Chain A
Amino acid sequence: MSDKVSIDSILGQINDPAIRIMAEHSLKTARKALDMSDYSRKQFVVEELHKILPRALKVRADNETA
């Protein structure tokens, strides 16, 4: 680990592309949601994850076919 520690770089190293998409997206939306109220932030993350799931699954399916 260099002096600068970044979660993004670690997430970028996840081998499975579907998991990587999900992980990166969940962190991105969580960062946005941190500025929201305590009550709505988690719901916002869940909604965003629901949206990204089909794309991640498609990447997984394409990958498996390939």
Chain B
Amino acid sequence: MKLHNIELVNFRQFKDRQTIDIATDSPRNVSVIYGENGRGKTGIFRALMFCLYGDKCLSQDELSGEQKKEGLNLVNEVALKENVGTSVAAQVAMAFSHQGQTFRIVRSIDALMKTDGAIVQSQGSRVELQQTDVTGNTQPIETDPDKITALIQEILNSRLRDYFLFDGERIERLTRNTKERREEVRQGIRALLDLDAMELAIAGLKSLISQIEKEISHKSTGELQRVTTIIADLNAKIEKLENAQELGSQELKRLVHKIHEISELVSENKETADKEKKRQELLKNSQDLKVERDALKREMAGYLSKGAQLVASELIEQLREELELRRHKGELPPNIRKEFVENLLDSERCICGTSLGHDHQQERECLLEFIKKHYTPGLGPESLDLLLSLSRLSSANTGLADQFNRLLTNNKKLGDEILELESKIKLLSDELQEGGTNIDDLIQERKKLEEDKRKLEREMDRQADDIVRAQNEREDLKKKSIVLEKQQSQVNSLVSRRILAEQTLEELEKIYNRFANAAKEKLAEKSTENFARLADDETKKDIKKISIDENYMLDVLNWSGQRRLGEISAGQRQIVSLSFIMALIQVAGNLEVPLFMDTPFGRLSGIHRDHLLDTIPKMASQWILLATDTEFTEVEAHALRQTNAWGKIYELVKEGEGTTRIVERDVHQFTPKRKSIH
């Protein structure tokens, strides 16, 4: 497909009728659309997508689900304002050639501005396909939108629409090591190389075989019927499990997307995220302090039984001191029992062997004096027991009060700290709530989603095991059924069908695997070749090869074969992405479409820019470069002129509020506004 021109009437910023002729003649196949930000460069690509597919927004438009459904307003707002209350049409016509024939597709959409300024746009659009004959006459050949869609699909499949336009950010994103990017690369490869169609064809053949086997089961008898019934049941089971896996994959994608969205929401507001982080820290500290206080309380509870003793400690001490004083004075009986001393006197012998007889009167007198002094009526032996008990209590009480005081002080300190933390937490929570985003809820939701994801992954692993088991069982039974089928002629016709379907399936699977691997190798090879053309010498010293692994993940290998994508600069990553994009176009082959690149030079150094300007025109059938004044300076203009590939230049000039005029300039004389920013 070769794009000749685009004609816009009241489309977005482009008021009235304006035309862009696209450079088609090789080698002059580069068209530059030059303009400052907001002039409508992307609008040109938007017009193309609307004209071909009726798209009212692009995949990179950051719109909510509802907004995407509604689409953007495509009718020029100035024209609408000049005709309040009257319907105004935006129209895009595109002339292109395909396989030797020239077509023109015209699509329009109506909108109306109400008196209150609200704009209402019609849901659908009108479309007409025209063909230009050899004499140059253009006639309508189709007006049925469905038939036109089918025709356009054959020329330029809408699934590939995202691969005609690469903006600078998307180019850089392709090499980011995230699951989403890997999926984007994978989808790109699958769509451009028809691998997704092959996968569907394979799935269809599997279903066909299942259906035939079911029929065989109905029509067979005896042992064959039994075996085929089991096979049919296994087929149904496998299909059910495979469907569940497919649904699981979709759900998994949804969960990953949702988790990603929430993570973005949580992290996009740094201030909020910092507050939330602080709040989480405080919550943890508060929780730790509460645990500490609980332990303290348990320790304090142990002291409760000693409470009464503590209360009476002063009285106990007074009494003990009084008794001690009286014992010192000898008013308390000694520790030796009176009966013991009396027994010694009766036996007239001390325990040390000394005689206490009448010949030792002095010792006897001494003991008699002892009895007289200490065992006089008054304080009995009970007072001695009391003194001993009081002494024990007094000793136990030593330090108890101090310990209890320490516990009480610590408890109060912890309580105060907890109160202070809770007050800070409340303050932060209030601020987060006022900010309109309840981060806590989001984090909780993400936690739940992550748990759902883990559960789903476990379930899917289990299903995958069940599928393998059922497939093995089915294979064994099939071998048996083949023998039995030969004995039953009435199922022969169905068996022939099944055999052909199975042979086709086997062949397709073989081709698919061979093709997918070869395509990946070819993509890696071409990406590496392109990289060698685009990169400067220093970059080529760092990166020797671009690889695409079994998961369709892009990577770069250094001189020793080590993966180094994470270590290269943003500019180098951009070169890797561009090399891959070009390889996709080269390998897909049938994708002879105009390649739109929106601000692709962003992070590229001078030599990389020169190489890009020199190389891409030789690879792409048509290159439409959408560039800002800071990107396309005198240096780039000079480099592009040197290539001899520069065919057209259009400048987007702001005319007034909401209006841009497309002005064609002469490529030989065009002077960009800026000399160079390098």
Contact = CB atoms under 8 A, between A and B. Distances in A.
Interface in B498-551: 500-501, 503-504, 507-508, 511, 514-515, 518-519, 522, 526
B194 interface: yes
Contact of B153 (A1, A22, A35, A49): A35
Given A16-B507, A30-B200, 15 more contacts: A4-B589, A5-B193, A7-B511, A22-B504, A23-B507, A23-B511, A26-B508, A27-B194, A27-B198, A41-B200, A42-B203, A43-B207, A45-B201, A46-B211, A57-B496
Given A42-B203, A49-B204, A4 B504 contact: no
23 contacts: A6-B194, A7-B511, A10-B515, A16-B503, A19-B500, A19-B503, A19-B507, A22-B501, A23-B504, A23-B507, A23-B511, A26-B204, A26-B205, A30-B201, A31-B194, A33-B200, A35-B153, A45-B201, A45-B207, A46-B207, A46-B208, A49-B208, A53-B501
Interface in B613-639: none
Interface in A21-42: 22-23, 26-27, 29-31, 33-35, 38, 41-42
Contact of B193 (A7, A11, A18, A27): A7
A19 to B, nearest CB: 5
Contacts of A60: 496, 500
Nearest to A59: B500
A6 B586 CA distance: 11
Interface of A: 1, 3-7, 10-11, 14, 16, 18-19, 22-23, 26-27, 29-31, 33-35, 38, 41-43, 45-46, 48-50, 53, 56-57, 60
B497 interface: yes
B158 interface: yes
Contact of A26 (B157, B201, B503): B201
Given A4-B590, A10-B511, A35 B158 contact: yes
Given A26-B205, A34-B200, A18 B587 contact: no
B200 A42 contact: yes
Interface of B: 153, 157-159, 193-194, 196-198, 200-201, 203-205, 207-208, 211, 250, 496-497, 500-501, 503-504, 507-508, 511, 514-515, 518-519, 522, 526, 586-590
A14 B506 CA distance: 12
Nearest to A21: B504
Highest count of chain A CB atoms <10 Å: which of B208, B211, B514, B526: B208
The secondary-structure label for the interface of chain B is helix
Q: Which of B504, B507, B590 has the most CB of A within 10 A?
A: B504
B515 A7 contact: yes
Given A6-B589, A57-B497, A57-B500, A31 B207 contact: no
A36 to B, nearest CB: 10
Given A19-B507, A56-B500, A57-B500, A5 B198 contact: no
A1 B201 contact: no
B507 A14 contact: yes
Which 7 A-B pairs have CB atoms at the shortest separation, nearest pair first? Answer: A4-B589, A45-B204, A26-B201, A30-B200, A22-B504, A30-B201, A30-B197
Contacts of B496: 57, 60
B588 A5 contact: yes
A4 B157 CA distance: 17
Contacts of A34: 159, 196-197, 200
A29 B197 CA distance: 9
Contacts of A27: 194, 197-198, 201, 508
Contacts of B153: 35
Contacts of A33: 200, 204
B590 A6 contact: yes
B204 A30 contact: yes
A46 B501 CA distance: 11
